[in-house]
Structure 1
Amino acid sequence: MYFHIHDWFPVFLSLRVALIALASVTCFGLPVARLLARREFPGKDVLEAAITLPLVLPPSVIGYGLLVLIGKNGPLGKALAEMGSSIIFTWWSAVLASTVVAFPLMYQSAKAAFKSVDINYEKAARTLGAGEIRIFFTITLPLAWPGIIAGLVLSFARALGEFGATLMVAGNIPGQTQTVPLAIYFAVDAGDNVTARTLVAIITVFSFLVIFWVNRWAKRQNH
């Protein structure tokens, strides 16, 4: 057996899914983390528990929940069907699964980063007439950036390696929804060790290089 050109599809799909999921958790995770890092309100503990729940739930449970949500009888699935669309068993459902499992990592890292920012800098900016959006982008975000970078890396890695929930909502359709973790699992199951070893090597080297680059970047920032 040989590693053919079409065997690269899972790699490209996994990168696409992980990058879109990363963009999603960043856009939604940063505002939520910033809000909950600074505000206290009734029910906050319940909300935070719900946000971080995917960290401890088995992937199959998350996958089943998403299946109920976006399946043909689910609320989102029915709404999409009325518009003549569906995301179940498409690569977009893989994006959704990766986003859900990666979101808590982005939230936790960003929240810790925002909490580490000295609030006095923000107060000083307000006394000088700066608005909240300007304060966020010129003071809070730059000071919290190292912690946010860690969240970005963790979220990307989690989205890239998502397996259980993806299998339940996207299935394993070669050339359509087959990501690297799915391709490795089913290659091993079929006795195709060449494909399995090659994909394992590719994803391991890529992940190592990403982490290595982030560590080097963090060291340069500290000097």
Structure 2
Amino acid sequence: MLYMISFWDPVLLSLQTAAAALVVVLLGGITAAGLMKGRTFFGKTFLETIFLLPTVLPPTVTGFLLIIIFGNQHAVGRIFETLFNQSLMFTWWAAVLAAAVVAFPFMYQSVKTGLQQVDENIEHAARTDGAGEWKVFLYISLPLSFRAVLSGVILSFTRALGEFGATFMFAGNLPGVTRTVPIAVFTAMEANQMTLAWAWVASVVVLSFSLLFVLRKWSI
């Protein structure tokens, strides 16, 4: 029984963290892609580079930057601590934020690609009929980009599920709070609990493989 509890706690926590991060990146990614679509302005390339930067930064660097921005020594961190009477670091929300930051580029890029493939004649026809830009986006562009959005959902969720470095630095390794499966694998290996480590590895591999397999089959 103790083995089952010790196995399932990080698994459930990882699923909860990845799901919460997915909500954040879904809303943020769709909004950002919608605002960027068809617009040209000074600094757009710079801003989009920032959006995609977590895909190439080492996770520990991302974690370091999160500590600098949201830690107690920064204004943002102090505001959070004042509002919620606790530091953001080493909380479940810190794990969600870390997972969301590293997963966001996958959602943004997928949605942006989908929106770019929408037939502009259909959008122009909707505008001619009196639809505003956001109505065109919500009722025309976004539904026609459904496949790209779903791809972004799967890629973002699996990336959030496998996040380790930024979470470890920013949220810590607290059992039942921030010890997700990747961190639990690291902890088990340090304690030479290889059977438990293999069980967690298998759970993530099976889930991630299944989601990516469905995505590949569906996109063919």
TM-score normalised to structure 1 length:
0.92
Kindly indicate whether residue 41 of structure 2 is the aligned counterpart of residue 67 of structure 1. no
Query: How far apart in 2 are the matches of 1:36 and 1:136?
Result: 12
Query: How far apart in 2 are the matches of 1:137 and 1:215?
Result: 26
Partner residue of 2:195? 194
Amino acid at match of 1:38: G
Q: CA deviation at 1:138?
A: 2.3
Amino acid at match of 2:61: V
1:175-214 matches, cutoff 5 A = 175-214=176-215
SS in 1 for 2:145: helix
Partner residue of 1:4? 4
Q: Deviations along 1:167-195, whole A, 9 cap, x unmatched?
A: 00111111221000000111112110111
Partner residue of 1:86? 87
Amino acid at match of 2:114: A
SS in 1 for 2:183: helix
Greater Cα offset, 203-212 or 93-102: 203-212
1:132-147 matches, cutoff 5 A = 132-147=133-148
Query: How far apart in 2 are the matches of 1:208 and 1:59?
Result: 22
Partner residue of 1:103? 104
Q: CA deviation at 1:111?
A: 0.7
Partner residue of 2:76? 76
The answer as to whether partners of 1:19 and 1:156 remain within 8 angstroms in 2 is: yes
> What percent of counterpart residues are identical?
46
Query: How far apart in 1 are the matches of 2:5 and 2:56?
Result: 37
Amino acid at match of 2:99: S
Q: CA deviation at 1:6?
A: 3.0
Aligned CA RMSD, in angstroms, stands at: 1.5
Amino acid at match of 1:57: L
Query: How far apart in 1 are the matches of 2:170 and 2:145?
Result: 35
SS in 2 for 1:154: helix
Kindly indicate whether residue 18 of structure 2 is the aligned counterpart of residue 18 of structure 1. yes
Query: How far apart in 1 are the matches of 2:151 and 2:41?
Result: 28
Kindly indicate whether residue 124 of structure 2 is the aligned counterpart of residue 123 of structure 1. yes
Q: CA deviation at 1:211?
A: 2.2
Q: CA deviation at 1:216?
A: 4.1
The answer as to whether partners of 2:81 and 2:88 remain within 8 angstroms in 1 is: no
Q: Deviations along 1:102-123, whole A, 9 cap, x unmatched?
A: 1111111111111111111110
- Shift >4 Å, 4+ stretches: none
| Unmatched 5+ stretches in structure 2 | none
Query: How far apart in 1 are the matches of 2:215 and 2:58?
Result: 29
Kindly indicate whether residue 16 of structure 2 is the aligned counterpart of residue 29 of structure 1. no
Q: CA deviation at 1:34?
A: 1.7
Q: CA deviation at 1:126?
A: 0.9
SS in 2 for 1:4: helix
| Unmatched 5+ stretches in structure 1 | none
The answer as to whether partners of 2:81 and 2:87 remain within 8 angstroms in 1 is: yes
Partner residue of 2:154? 153
Query: How far apart in 1 are the matches of 2:214 and 2:110?
Result: 18
Query: How far apart in 2 are the matches of 1:167 and 1:188?
Result: 15
